[in-house]
């Protein structure tokens, strides 16, 4: 069971401090929440963890591995994956092909050789396609497998974004507002899927603005505001914390 440990991490852009002295832990087998107002530094933290950005200070470890300055491909190889707040799909490719792209983070044959069905890759592609279809079933989207991803309703595009991240069979998934724009029923369905991933042993970091959704799913919640950690604790502790109430209601 591998824990992500973020220790006194900071990130400055020029003179601006986007993330300041943040420490947090994301254990396996649980959903950990990360909330905070717009511009709090949540996405920046994911970019730091995944090697898209480099920390200005502090350290990032995943179990025994030091990922502090690891490039994105090494973070992926360590079993950490993420979704993007701004959905990144190949709009003209099918749903199942978009999900399959996620597999190649851990496969040896090149993505495009495989997707183009070059001979060496054909056997592998058939297996991955079957695995992608299993994921689609889990997300209730098997009937949309051959649809163009760009033509899907927004909530369905978000599901594809999440499935693509899951396709690499990660040990830890970082979800950047995965239910943004969904109604309560759609969000609740995805919440049950996230809970199932955690039950199966995956670590889950959930960034989300819907406080009710986060508190219903998480064991532990961290709260950022203007790059600083203003609170952390159980859902009950966090929602009754005066600093959190002030950050959200602007008192």
Ligand X SMILES: Nc1ncnc2c1ncn2[C@@H]1O[C@H](COP(=O)(O)OP(=O)(O)OP(=O)(O)O)[C@@H](O)[C@H]1O
d(CA 58, CA 31): 24
List, in sequence order, the alpha helices (H) in the chain: 42-49, 72-77, 95-101, 111-115, 122-138, 154-166, 184-199, 211-217, 235-239, 242-249
Q: Which is nearer to Mg ion, 42 or 105 (CB)?
A: 42
Compute the least distance from the CB of residue 215 to ligand X, in Å.
17
Cα-flanking dihedrals φ and ψ of residue 35, to 5°? -125, 170
Q: Which of 248, 222, 247 is nearest to 235 (CA)?
A: 222
C-beta neighbour count of 196 within 10 angstroms: 11
Binding partner at 86 among Mg ion, ligand X, none, C-beta below 5 to 8 Å by kind: none
Q: Which two tokens stand for residue 171?
A: 């040990």
Binding residues for ligand X, total number by CB under 6 A: 11
Burial 154-169 (b: 16+ CB within 10 A, else e): ebbbbbbbbbbbbbbe
Least separation in angstroms between residue 250's CB and ligand X is: 15
Work out the end-to-end distance of the chain between its first and last CA atoms, rounded to an integer number of angstroms: 41
Residues between 25 and 44 that touch Mg ion (CB under 5 A): 42-43
40 sits near ligand X (criterion: CB under 6 A)? yes
Is the Cβ of residue 83 or residue 125 nearer to Mg ion in the bound state?
83
* Measured distance CA(42)–CA(6) in Å, rounded: 13
With CB cut-offs between 5 and 8 Å by kind, which of ligand X, Mg ion, none does residue 36 bind?
ligand X
Least distance to ligand X from the beta carbon of 17, Å?
A: 9
Tell me which of 30, 42, 158, 164 binds ligand X, using CB under 6 A: 42
Among the residue ranges 41-49, 59-67, 140-148, 195-203, the one whose residues contact ligand X (CB under 6 A): 41-49
Least distance between ligand X and beta carbon 55 (Å):
13
Residue 227 per-residue DSSP state: T
CA distances from 137 to 86, 192, 244 (A): 24, 14, 38
83 binds, among ligand X, Mg ion, none (CB under 5 to 8 A by kind): none
CB 82 within 8 A of CB 165: yes
Q: Which of residues 74-113 bind ligand X (CB under 6 A)?
A: 85
Count of residues that bind Mg ion according to CB under 5 A:
3
One residue of 8, 39, 184, 243 binding ligand X per CB under 6 A: 39
Q: Which is nearer to ligand X, 18 or 80 (CB)?
A: 18
CB distance 67 to 6 below 8 Å = no
Instruction: Name the residue nearer to ligand X (CB basis): 39 or 196.
Output: 39
Q: Which is nearer to Mg ion, 52 or 145 (CB)?
A: 52
One residue of 1, 8, 13, 122 binding ligand X per CB under 6 A? 13
β-pairing verdict for 65-66 and 57-62: antiparallel
The footprint of ligand X (CB under 6 A) covers 13, 18, 36, 38-44, 85
């Amino acid at each position: 069971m591998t824990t992500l440990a973020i220790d006194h991490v900071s990130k400055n852009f020029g003179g601006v401090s986007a993330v300041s002295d943040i420490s947090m832990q994301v254990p396996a087998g649980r959903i950990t929440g990360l909330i905070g107002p717009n511009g709090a530094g949540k996405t920046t933290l994911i970019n730091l963890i995944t090697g898209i950005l480099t920390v200005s200070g502090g350290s990032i470890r995943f179990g025994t591995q030091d990922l502090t300055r690891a490039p994105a491909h090494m973070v992926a190889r360590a079993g950490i994956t993420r979704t993007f707040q701004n959905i990144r799909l190949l709009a003209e490719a099918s749903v199942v092909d978009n999900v399959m792209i996620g597999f190649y983070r851990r496969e040896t044959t090149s993505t495009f050789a495989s997707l183009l069905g070059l001979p060496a890759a054909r056997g592998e592609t058939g297996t991955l396609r079957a695995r992608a279809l299993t994921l689609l079933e889990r997300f209730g989207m098997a009937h949309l497998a051959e649809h163009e991803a760009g033509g899907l309703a927004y909530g369905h595009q978000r599901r594809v974004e999440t499935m693509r991240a899951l396709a690499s069979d990660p040990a830890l998934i970082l979800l950047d507002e995965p239910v943004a724009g969904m109604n309560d029923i759609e969000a609740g369905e995805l919440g049950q899927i996230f809970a199932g991933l955690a039950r199966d042993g995956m670590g889950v970091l959930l960034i989300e603005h819907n406080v009710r959704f986060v508190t219903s799913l998480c064991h532990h919640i961290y709260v950022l505001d203007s790059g600083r950690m203003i609170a952390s604790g159980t859902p009950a502790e966090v929602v009754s914390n005066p600093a959190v109430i002030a950050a959200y209601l602007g008192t």
